[in-house]
């Protein structure tokens, strides 16, 4: 049972490959279900964003699991051959896979470090996997942990404090012009993705009045309904500019839609109240000369990107702190993962019941001092056989289910029923017990159970 | 006694100025607390200095230029502390505290001359107090204007430096500018009226058209136009910032005029 991640990201693959491999939201469920039909894949989750496509899986064997996932990824898009894909793929297993997921969730692996979208995308991917029942004990725990690590990173470092994306940089700039966004009006011209995102950020920051215009009137009406705004006719938006404090332009037009005169007129009508214009379109839709108009502040996509770049540099420092947190969290999760392995569980179970048995036998024998050595052995033997019979089925089930998909669930259950995590939480404790146990085992253990004791964990007991 | 307190205050304001200026250049916010603490302490000693100064001066004496400037400086810090307390804009201290230090420093540099004029009524006290309060309003407007112009030019040139991140939003600065003038202007008006009244009592005429009186009227007229322009034709934002910076220059000239002419006596 191994956790594995196979995928590609903006760091390893060009956009031509990424866009081919990307799985649209509508098909994500089907894809993740299909992932789990590949040989050796027991649990699966598919994370597909514009910057990365990654398949997380719990597999029986690393080698074959990698092969299966690679095959799955190549099958996702007909136009992609395995040869084209392989050079861009990376693969992490075990603790490195966990660390990778944590870093992705905490936005340490993002194109823009500290951006917040990835966490939402991960949550969605997890939801989809849950809905299609492709995850199990291991994946659920790991992903939930990743989400909590991401939250911890966000609250304990300043990584997400400064503008994380171009659309948010617009909000940050708006705050340097308007101290209070509550009473401000936004005019959204065109429906580019980035502009919509910026508008959404602004609304989240308190902007209440939104006016929307697009070339297609119906589109504006739909968007207005979505944002709780007012649609404006495209021909008339220049007249509306005076009433807008923030103008977001993002259309596909190849020429300037807003001229210097338009802005001058608007500023004059506004009695010189400052005006914030953001042009996210390429080619630009607002005449760049507008930046010379007093009390009008024009920023284009490059200005916003420049701002983001600066913030990014500051984030790198915060990212170092976050990386340390990730390492810490990986260690704690690994402890848990280790506990899910069958062998240590059997060892822990064995020592737990032996501990109880030994205590009880000593208590009884203390009061029965008159017993002959033979009688004492008889009492001890009886205690041993009761204990062994009680745990026999559990031991057998754990061993037989070790390779089934519900294996970890049985392990988890056994650990809870027998209160084993008390010992497992402190690893050295477990070791000490297993080391102490053998002397007792040799005396009282029946060979049947001694055989079952796994070789790997305790060579002494294997004999 | 008051002189010692003034000295202590000056030292504190000086240290606060240094730390506030260092704060301006550093990314860390930690320095703002230190600066603020020192300023508050300075304000306390300043208050004591003013109180002991008042107690020492006999009731019949007229206000000296020295005392007026000290009062001006004290009010400036008071306004800063109030705005800071309400809006938490530490960077204001980097501009206001140096201004307070300069005015207190020039007050200390002046000899406490015995006033040559003997006013019959207490109107001269009113005149000085009101004029100084009005001037504080203009000084705050000036600071807000300077900050506005800096932030405006940083935004226009897209230089997102430390100063950019520390300066408040443009509309806040414009609002501060407006409020300061709206409060300062009536006070100055009353200051001029009471000044004219005391002149009438002393000399028998309201206006003698000496240089500082002329300048005071020019200043008054200037701010009147600035205020009117803002309310009617939208002289706000950048233009208002420029105008208030120029206006404060007029105020300084008036004060210098008083200083050169009267050697400490106000009329």
Residue B112 has pLDDT above 70, yes or no: no
The pLDDT value recorded for residue A399 is 80
> Residues in chain A, how many?
463
Looking at beta carbons, which pairs linking A154-161 to residues 24 or more positions away fall under 8 Å? A154/A106, A154/A116, A156/A321, A156/A325, A157/A318, A157/A319, A157/A321, A157/A322, A157/A325, A158/A315, A158/A318, A159/A106, A159/A107, A159/A113, A159/A114, A159/A315, A159/A318, A159/A319, A159/A322, A160/A107, A160/A114, A160/A115, A160/A116
> Which residue in B125, B7, B2, B107 sits closest to B52, CA to CA?
B2
Dist. CA A167–CA B255, nearest whole Å: 50
When pLDDT is cut at 50, 70 and 90, the band that residue A431 belongs to is very low
**The predicted structure's pLDDT at residue B80:** 92
Residue A313 has pLDDT above 90, yes or no: no
Buried b (16+ CB within 10 A) or exposed e, A87-104: ebbebbbeeebbbbbbbb
Please report which helix (H) or strand (E) contains residue A198, including its range.
helix A193-204
CA distance B102 to B142: 15
The 10s digit of each residue's pLDDT in B39-88 is 999 999 999 988 888 777 655 556 677 777 888 899 999 999 998 888 88
Residue B264: DSSP 8-state = T
Of A177, A294, A303, the CB nearest to B158: A303
Question: Which of B 222-251 lie inside 8 A of A, CB atoms?
Answer: 233-239
Would you say residue A164 has pLDDT above 80? no
3-state secondary structure of B161: coil
Region B82-102: mean pLDDT is 89
Would you call A50 a catalytic residue per the annotation? yes
Q: What pTM was estimated for this model as a whole?
A: 0.63
ipTM score assigned to the predicted complex: 0.82
User: Which pLDDT does position B58 carry in this prediction?
Assistant: 59
The span from the CA of A230 to the CA of A100, in Å, is 44
Please tell me the predicted confidence (pLDDT) of residue B152. Answer: 92
Predicted pLDDT at A448: 34
Domain architecture of chain A: domains with CATH = 2-161 (3.30.460.30), 166-301 (3.40.50.720), 337-462 (no CATH)
Residue of A nearest to B162 (CA): A310
With 90 as the cut, is the pLDDT of residue A4 above it?
A: yes
Q: Which residue in the set B151, B169, B237 is minimally distant from A295, CB to CB?
A: B237
pLDDT digits (tens, 9 = 90+) for A57-114: 998 888 889 999 988 988 888 777 888 888 999 999 988 999 999 999 998 888 877 7
Q: Which of B18, B13, B62, B61 is nearest to B38 (CA)?
A: B13
Q: Which of A178, A295, A304, A311 is the best residue to mutate to test the B interface, defined by the most B CB atoms within 10 Å of its own CB?
A: A295
Residue A129, both tokens:
């996997």
Question: What per-residue string of b and e applies to B172-191 under the rule 16 or more CB within 10 Å gives b?
Answer: bbbbbbbebbebbbebbbbb
Query: A207-216, A295-304, A391-400, B236-245 — which is least confidently predicted?
Result: A391-400
Question: At A411, which helix (H) or strand (E)?
Answer: helix A407-417
Whole-angstrom distance, CA of residue A172 vs CA of residue A174:
5
Q: For residue A5, which phi and psi values (nearest 5 degrees)?
A: -130, 130
Question: For position A405, what pLDDT does the model report?
Answer: 65
Residue A29 to residue A98: CA distance in whole angstroms: 23
Q: Per the CB < 8 Å rule, is B156 touching A297?
A: yes
What is the signed CA dihedral for B33, B34, B40, B44, rounded to 10 degrees? Answer: 150
**Rounded mean pLDDT of chain A?**
82
- What are the b/e assignments for A345-364, b being 16+ CB within 10 Å? bbbbbbbbbbeebbeebeee
- Is the pLDDT at A146 greater than 90, yes or no? yes
Under a CB-based contact definition with an 8 Å cutoff, are residues A361 and A383 in contact?
A: yes
pLDDT confidence tier of residue B211, bands split at 50, 70 and 90: low
- Give the nearest chain A residue to B163 (CA atoms): A176
The answer to whether A101 and A142 have CB atoms below 8 angstroms apart is: yes
What are the residue ranges spanned by the domains of chain B? 1-114, 124-267
CB-based contact, A175 to chain B, within 8 Å: yes
Residue B262 scores a pLDDT above 60: no
pLDDT of B98 reads: 92
Convert B97-116 to b/e letters by CB count within 10 Å (16 or more is b).
Answer: bbbbbebbebbbeeebeebe
Helix axis angle for A166-177 and B170-203, nearest 10°, is: 10
| Lowest-confidence region among A208-222, A259-273, A381-395, A396-410 | A396-410
Residue A438 pLDDT more than 50? no
Q: Do B238 and A176 touch (CB under 8 A)?
A: no
Q: Measured between alpha carbons, how far is A178 from B170 in angstroms, rounded to an integer?
A: 6
**Sorting pLDDT into bands at 50, 70 and 90, what band is A370?**
confident
**B158, B167, B169: residue with CB nearest A306:** B158
| Rounded mean pLDDT, A265-292 | 88
Q: Give the confidence band of A117 by pLDDT, cuts at 50, 70, 90.
A: confident
Q: At residue A152, does pLDDT exceed 60?
A: yes
Distance CA(A165)–CA(A153), nearest Å, equals 18
Least confident of A279-283, A328-332, B154-158: A279-283
| A60 to A202, A403, A407: CA distances (angstroms) | 48, 8, 12
Q: Which of A176-185, A294-303, B144-153 has the highest mean pLDDT?
A: B144-153
Q: How many cross-chain Cβ pairs, A to B, lie less than 8 Å apart?
A: 53
Instruction: List, for residues A215-274, the tens digit of each pLDDT value.
Output: 888 888 888 888 888 888 888 888 888 899 999 888 888 888 888 999 999 998 888 889
Q: With CB atoms and an 8 Å threshold, state whether A272 touches B238.
A: yes
CA–CA gap between residue A113 and residue A105 (Å, rounded): 11
CB A387 within 8 A of CB A320: no
CA dist B99 and B111 (Å) reads 20
> Average pLDDT for residues A410-438, to the nearest whole number?
57
Tokens 């490059």 sit on residue = A302
Helices (H), strands (E): how many in chain B? 9, 0
**Closest Cα partner for A111 from A56, A44, A164, A181?**
A164
Choose among A176, A270, A307: nearest Cβ to B170.
Answer: A176
What pLDDT, on a 0 to 100 scale, did the predictor assign at position B261? Answer: 61
User: How near does any CA of chain B get to the CA of A177, in Å?
Assistant: 5
**Distance (Å) from the alpha carbon of B158 to chain A's nearest alpha carbon:** 7
């Amino acid at each position: 049972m191994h956790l594995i991640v196979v995928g590609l990201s903006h760091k390893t693959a060009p956009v031509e490959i990424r866009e081919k491999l990307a799985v649209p939201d509508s098909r994500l469920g089907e894809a993740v279900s299909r992932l789990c039909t590949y040989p050796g894949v027991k649990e699966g989750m598919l994370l597909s964003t514009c910057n990365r496509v990654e398949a997380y899986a719990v597999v029986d064997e690393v080698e074959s699991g990698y092969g299966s996932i690679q095959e799955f990824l190549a099958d996702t898009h007909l136009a992609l051959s395995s040869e084209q894909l392989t050079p861009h793929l990376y693969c992490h297993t075990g603790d490195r896979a966990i660390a990778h997921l944590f870093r992705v969730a905490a936005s340490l692996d993002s194109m823009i470090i500290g951006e917040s979208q990835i966490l939402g995308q991960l949550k969605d991917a997890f939801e989809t996997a849950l809905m299609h029942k492709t995850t199990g004990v291991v994946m659920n725990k790991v992903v939930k942990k990743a989400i909590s690590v991401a939250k911890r990173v966000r609250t304990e470092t300043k990584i997400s404090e400064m503008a994380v994306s171009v659309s948010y940089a617009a909000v940050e700039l708006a705050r340097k012009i308007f101290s209070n966004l509550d009473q401000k009006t936004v005019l959204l011209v065109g429906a580019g993705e980035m502009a919509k995102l910026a508008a959404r950020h602004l609304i989240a920051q308190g902007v209440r009045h939104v006016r929307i215009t697009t070339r297609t009137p119906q589109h504006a009406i739909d968007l207005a309904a979505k944002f709780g705004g007012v649609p404006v006719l495209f021909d008339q938006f220049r007249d509306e500019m005076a009433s807008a404090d923030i103008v977001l332009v993002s259309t596909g037009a190849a020429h300037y839609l807003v001229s210097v005169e338009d802005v001058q007129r608007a500023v004059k009508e506004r009695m010189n109240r400052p005006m914030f214009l953001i042009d996210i379109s390429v080619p630009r839709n607002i005449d760049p000369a507008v930046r010379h108009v007093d009390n009008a502040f024009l920023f284009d996509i490059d200005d916003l990107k420049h701002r983001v770049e600066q913030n990014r540099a500051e984030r790198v420092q915060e990212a170092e702190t976050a990386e340390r947190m990730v390492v810490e969290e990986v260690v704690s999760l690994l402890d848990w993962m280790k506990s899910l392995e069958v062998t240590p569980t059997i060892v822990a179970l064995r020592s737990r019941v032996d501990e109880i048995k030994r205590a009880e036998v000593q208590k009884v024998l203390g009061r029965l001092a008159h017993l002959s050595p033979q009688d004492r052995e008889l009492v001890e033997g009886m205690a041993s056989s009761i204990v062994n019979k009680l745990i026999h089925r559990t031991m057998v089930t754990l061993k037989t289910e070790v390779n089934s998909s519900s294996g970890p669930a049985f392990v988890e259950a056994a650990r809870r029923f027998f209160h084993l995590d008390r010992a497992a939480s402190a690893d050295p404790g477990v070791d000490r017990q297993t080391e102490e146990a053998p002397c007792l085992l040799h005396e009282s253990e029946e060979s049947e159970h001694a055989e079952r004791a796994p070789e790997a964990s305790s060579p002494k007991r294997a004999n | 006694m008051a002189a010692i307190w003034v000295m202590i205050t000056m030292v504190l304001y000086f240290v606060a100025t240094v730390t506030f200026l260092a704060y301006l250049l550093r990314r860390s916010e930690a320095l703002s607390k230190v600066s603020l603490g020192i300023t508050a302490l300075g304000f306390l000693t300043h208050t004591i200095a003013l109180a002991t100064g008042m107690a020492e001066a006999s009731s019949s004496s007229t206000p000296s230029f020295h005392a007026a400037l000290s009062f001006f400086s004290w009010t400036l810090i008071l306004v800063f502390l109030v705005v800071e307390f309400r809006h938490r804009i530490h960077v204001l201290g980097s501009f206001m505290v140096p201004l307070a230090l300069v005015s207190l420093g020039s007050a200390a540099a002046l000899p406490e001359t015995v006033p040559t004029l003997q006013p019959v009524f207490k109107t001269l006290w009113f005149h000085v107090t009101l004029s100084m309060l009005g001037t504080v309003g203009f000084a705050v407007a000036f600071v807000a204007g300077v900050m506005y112009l800096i932030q405006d030019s940083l935004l226009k040139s897209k230089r997102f430096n430390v100063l950019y991140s520390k300066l408040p939003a443009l509309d806040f600065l414009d609002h501060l500018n407006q409020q300061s003038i709206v409060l300062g202007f009536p006070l100055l008006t009353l200051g001029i009226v009471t000044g004219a009244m005391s002149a009438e009592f002393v000399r028998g005429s309201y206006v003698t058209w000496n240089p500082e009186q002329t300048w005071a009227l020019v200043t008054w007229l200037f701010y009147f136009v600035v205020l009117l322009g803002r309310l009617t034709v939208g002289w706000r934002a950048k233009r208002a910032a420029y105008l208030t910076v120029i206006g404060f220059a007029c105020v300084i000239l008036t004060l210098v005029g008083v200083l050169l002419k009267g050697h400490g006596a106000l009329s």
